[in-house]
Amino acid sequence: MSGAFRPGPDAGVTVDGDSGTVYVARLPGGPLLVLEGAAAVIWAEATAAPAAGWLSRVAAAVGHAEDVIAADVEDFVADLRARQLLVPVDGDDQVDGADAPQ
Amino acid sequence: MATQEATEGPAPAASVPLEVRIGFAHASLQWIADRCGADLIHVKGAALDPTLVPGRGFSDADVLARPQQVRMLLDELRRHDWELINTFAYGSSFEHSATLRHKDFGLLDLHRIYPGTGPTPEQAFDTLWSARTTTVIGGRDCAVPSRAAQAALLLLHAARGGTDPKAANDVEWVWTAAGPDDREQILEWVRRLDAELGFSVITGTLDEHRDDPAYDLWRVASRGGTRMDEWRARVRAARGARTKLAVAARSVLVNVEHLTIVRGRPVSRREVVAEFFERPVRGLREQVTRRAGTALGRAGARHREPVPPATDDR
């Protein structure tokens, strides 16, 4: 079982176990990005199994309804994908939890 | 509020812990090595088995490259925004590593030799490579030595650390507090790596190796000495007359790369010329100071060594 997304093939990732902060860099030259708070939650849930329902898990974690956050989350994931830091596990472009690949 | 953070997009690294940056330095080099088919062994720092010396800090990435592939890796690193700030010849007295810097990932020491290992750099690399294991650093799979080999390498590094408290702490954890089985495994790696000379510093038997051409290198590294002592040791350790001459010539040339780092900016021609004349004077002054100090020491007075033992562990 896999998550909806996984780090890109040229991404380096380090997660701080205490704070949950995600450090992600495009290798070999950077830049090095810091994902904190909601951004770290989105990364964690988007890459965690199961793929189905990952968006609702983000909604629950940040305390907002899924439909309220969906557009913002989609923009954020699109940014990470444009930087090739995050790629869909089976090439599916959907970021919505219900449609994400299993 | 949390969602607003997300909509602002990922933040460029403003404040990233140094150890995280260094982890990415390992990952960056591993990415490059994977693309060009080079073999690397990541040592110390982020690559160290955390059970060897709990909580040991680090400030750069140390990576040993297969010697035949070092030139290719250096070229590739420079193509990927790594800036060469110190070459092998002008690094430590063991001339073992080149230092590079990346604006996001910090400092990287690319080793062509691990000081104290042999019998040749190629054979030492093969020996470590044959028993490698893998750990994840910065999200990439990186080859590291076996745990006992890591212990032996850390002790060889500490042997060059003189009175550095970090080196003393490494020896305490890895050797002094080790049980008989762990010690035997370490000694086995010392034998496999032909590392008896360097390791004799740890066991206090260095002076049994006075006839070894590299004895003075280890003596100066572990006990301290002047720059003149260090250059004498480098010349003595160099193999062959031509190599000895080349080392001796380097001792009077100015290391422009190092000077650039010390000054924090590109150096002018005038500064290089001034440094050229200053260095022999400085070496002579240290030698005189040391002799005077030794004389005072004989007379019962306390004195300080003018130059601390060399260590590359920044």
Question: Is residue A74 situated within a structural domain?
Answer: yes
Q: In the structure encoding, which two tokens stand for residue B219, read together?
A: 């003596």
Closest CA to B202 of B187, B182, B185, B181: B187
Q: How far apart are CA B307 and CA B314, in angstroms?
A: 17
Contacts of B140 in chain A (CB under 8 A): 12, 27
- What pLDDT was estimated at residue A101? 38
Min distance B22 CA to chain A CA atoms (Å): 11
In single-letter form, the type of residue at position A31 comes to: P
Is-contact B218 B197, C-beta < 8 A?
yes
The least confident of A14-18, A61-65, A79-83, A98-102 is A98-102
Per-residue pLDDT of chain B (314 residues; tens, 9 = 90+): 333 334 455 655 458 999 999 999 999 999 999 999 999 999 999 999 999 999 999 999 999 999 999 999 999 999 999 999 987 766 666 668 899 999 999 999 999 999 999 999 999 999 999 999 999 999 999 999 999 999 999 999 999 998 899 999 999 999 999 999 999 999 999 999 999 999 999 999 999 999 998 999 899 889 887 777 777 877 777 766 666 556 555 555 555 555 566 566 666 666 655 665 565 556 556 555 555 555 554 444 343 333 334 444 43
- What pLDDT was estimated at residue B132? 98
- What pLDDT was estimated at residue B4? 35
CB atoms within 10 A of CB B40: 25
Is-contact A62 A53, C-beta < 8 A?
no
Token look-up 């350790």 returns B237
CB contact under 8 A, B12 and A68: no
Percent of chain A with pLDDT over 90: 83
- Total domains in chain A come to 1
Question: Is residue A53 situated within a structural domain?
Answer: yes
In single-letter form, the type of residue at position B302 comes to: R
Q: What is the ipTM of this complex?
A: 0.87
Which chain A residue lies closest to B78 (C-alpha atoms)?
A29
Q: How far apart are CA B58 and CA B24, in angstroms?
A: 13
CB contact under 8 A, A33 and B24: no
Contacts of B29 in chain A (CB under 8 A): 28
- What pLDDT was estimated at residue B137? 97
Contacts of A82 in chain B (CB under 8 A): none
Q: How many Å is the Cα radius of gyration of chain A?
A: 13
Is-contact B17 A14, C-beta < 8 A?
no
Token look-up 């301290």 returns B224
Question: Is residue A102 situated within a structural domain?
Answer: no
Q: Give the domain extent around A61.
A: 5-88
- What pLDDT was estimated at residue A25? 96
Question: Is residue A100 situated within a structural domain?
Answer: no
CB contact under 8 A, B12 and A31: yes
- What pLDDT was estimated at residue B230? 76
Q: In the structure encoding, which two tokens stand for residue B77, read together?
A: 């690193």
Q: How far apart are CA B190 and CA B258, in angstroms?
A: 33
In angstroms, the Cα distances linking B182 to A88, B145, B196 are 46, 15, 17
Q: Is the pLDDT of residue A62 over 80?
A: yes
